[in-house]
Amino acid sequence: MAHIAVTGATGYIGGRLVPQLLKAGHTVRVLTRRAESLRDVPWRDDVEVLEGSLDELESAQALCQDVHVVYFLVHSMSGGRDFAATDKRCAEAVGQAAAESGVRSIVYLSGLHPEGQLSPHLQSRVEVGEILEASAVPTLTLQAGLVIGSGSASFEMIRHLTDVLPAMPSPQWVLNRVQPIAVRDALHYLAHAAELRLSESRRCDIGGPNVHTYAQLMKLYARSAGLREPAVIPLPVLTPWLAAQWVNLVTPIPRSLAIPLVQSLQHDCVVKERGIDELIPPPEDGLTDYETAVELALDKMSADRVETTWAGAHPLEVPSEPLPSDPDWAGRTVLMDQREASTTASPEAVFSVVEGIGGEKGYFSLSKAWRLRGVADKLVGGVGLGRGRRSKEVLQLGDAVDWWRVESLEPGRLLRLRAEMKMPGQAWLEFSVSPDGDGAVLAQRAIFFPSGLGGRAYWLALAPFHAVIFRKMVARLTAEAESRRRTGQGET
């Protein structure tokens, strides 16, 4: 097994590669500007963490000392106009430090690109590879196009554009050809690269099994996500700069990242040779096609598990899901209304009130509005409020509560209800109770995963009502618990 140093461990690929290397039995050292940024990742306690800046030689030397393989996975594309100069300094420092320390090999993830003039982003990727190769340390450069997984910038751009827009005025480059690769396959090649004994530097293209146009990628995404395929309308007048402003406007991807990303889409990005197969065989079950990669990124199998969307899934098993170190704009759109209230009532008293919600007791706020929404749901073929409850006082996992279903239940602490009404998205209502001195705190969340532009419009239209309903709900739930405390009900 090898001693490995990983740069870019807080990034999309690096954060998913580290646990793969650990699983293979390697020891791992990472370098980050702020160790705090790795606090919540699942593998934090299994690696050595150094704090420093990669463009400083001293930090690079500390990283490379006594290691066999260095992974260069940093890219400063979102760091402003000087990203190319920053990456050059980092590559020079790592190359020098690796050569001085006798590192066996460098593994570098670059971009898939054609010959000829390139965008600043892709040109920077090529220059970094040349600098690393010039270090005299054998360097394996893996050249990938779009990496498909929740959190990757390319996939998030496709996701958010397709989710929001039923029709897209687009530049001519939407007809360019691209060969995306699933994040699990990119990690397969990267992880196995640690085992190679290179005598000289190599450059290898990596990509999935199929070639598509960008327009096809958006339509295939819509199909996998259960959305109507968007009408993609190529416009010859939409320059890369204007297209980047459009991406920045309708997606959460920041402008500093959108501009270089869109500029890089001007080229066909397809695999020209499969020399990688001589070094690292493909995965045993074959390369993942784009549609499957999208479904893995959307995690359809666990779409009703709220935690998997904003908490880090274990990356050893599902590298396509978000990690705590991913940027804020990564992952599906989540809309929430969050409320909290303190009370002198005990946690048991508060939870007993929460557990009795719905049915004849209603929802402690604007009962007429709830009934009206139930009627509307019935009119469009939903279940409405007529199902009521199995028991007036207690719940079991899987119980129906009007148009809700009990999805998670931890007696005395947590109740999560999943909506089964007709709506353009998925919704949950969650209550959690925690002790607070002699009393308790009730945290209430209404959670919504919108589907397409209609889902966002739906949430926006209801936002004024939510502001009243959910504010009153949390206040009246705790008030009811305090009333029970005074009368001796609900206490143990």
Residue of 240 and 448 predicted with greater confidence: 448
Mean pLDDT confidence for 147-170: 83
**Mode of pairing for the β-strands spanning 404-410 and 400-401:** antiparallel
Measured CA to CA, the distance from residue 108 to residue 14 in angstroms comes to: 11
Q: Is the pLDDT of residue 241 over 80?
A: no
Residue of 294 and 154 predicted with greater confidence: 294
Query: Taking Cα atoms as reference points, which of 112, 111, 73 lies closest to residue 273?
Result: 112
Mean pLDDT confidence for 415-437: 92
**Which of 155-164, 294-303, 454-463 has maximum average pLDDT?**
454-463
Q: Which two tokens stand for residue 315?
A: 């990356």
Q: Which of 18-22, 345-349, 368-372 shows the lowest mean pLDDT across its residues?
A: 368-372
Q: Is the pLDDT of residue 278 over 60?
A: yes
Position 302 scores a pLDDT of 40
Position 108 scores a pLDDT of 97
Residue of 36 and 259 predicted with greater confidence: 36
Position 119 scores a pLDDT of 82
Please list the residue range(s) of the chain that carry CATH number 3.30.530.20: 335-487
Please list the residue range(s) of the chain that carry CATH number 3.40.50.720: 3-310
Q: What angle do CA 419, 324, 19 make, to 5 degrees?
A: 120
Residue of 249 and 317 predicted with greater confidence: 249
What is the per-residue burial (b if ≥16 Cβ within 10 Å, else e) of 358-389?
Answer: bbeeebbbbeeebeebbeebbeeebbbbebeb
Residue of 379 and 303 predicted with greater confidence: 379
Dihedral, 244, 250, 254, 260 alpha carbons, nearest 10? -20
Residue of 182 and 312 predicted with greater confidence: 182
Q: Is the pLDDT of residue 27 over 90?
A: yes
Residue of 196 and 298 predicted with greater confidence: 196
Query: Taking Cα atoms as reference points, which of 412, 424, 400 lies closest to residue 348?
Result: 412
Position 102 scores a pLDDT of 96
Mean pLDDT confidence for 11-40: 91
Q: In what order do the strands lie in the sheet with 69-72?
A: 48-51, 27-32, 3-7, 69-72, 105-111, 139-144, 202-206
Q: Per-residue confidence at 70, pLDDT binned at 50, 70, 90?
A: very high
Mean pLDDT confidence for 384-399: 86
Position 280 scores a pLDDT of 96
Q: Under CATH, which number does the domain 335-487 receive?
A: 3.30.530.20
Mean pLDDT confidence for 53-62: 94
Q: Which sign, positive or negative, has the C-alpha torsion 64, 68, 73, 75?
A: positive
Mean pLDDT confidence for 261-286: 88
Q: Is the pLDDT of residue 324 over 70?
A: no
- 392 contacts 359 by C-beta, under 8 angstroms: yes
Mean pLDDT confidence for 340-350: 94
Q: Is the pLDDT of residue 57 over 80?
A: yes
Q: Which two tokens stand for residue 464?
A: 């004024």
Q: Is the pLDDT of residue 79 over 60?
A: no
Q: Per-residue confidence at 483, pLDDT binned at 50, 70, 90?
A: confident
Mean pLDDT over each residue of the chain, to the nearest integer: 86
Residue of 303 and 322 predicted with greater confidence: 322
Mean pLDDT confidence for 199-220: 94
Q: Per-residue confidence at 40, pLDDT binned at 50, 70, 90?
A: confident
Architecture label for domain 3-310 = 3-Layer(aba) Sandwich (3.40)
Measured CA to CA, the distance from residue 386 to residue 396 in angstroms comes to: 19
Position 328 scores a pLDDT of 57
Other C-beta atoms within 10 Å of 252: how many?
A: 13
Position 41 scores a pLDDT of 86
Mean pLDDT confidence for 45-66: 95
Q: Is the pLDDT of residue 181 over 50?
A: yes
Position 369 scores a pLDDT of 87
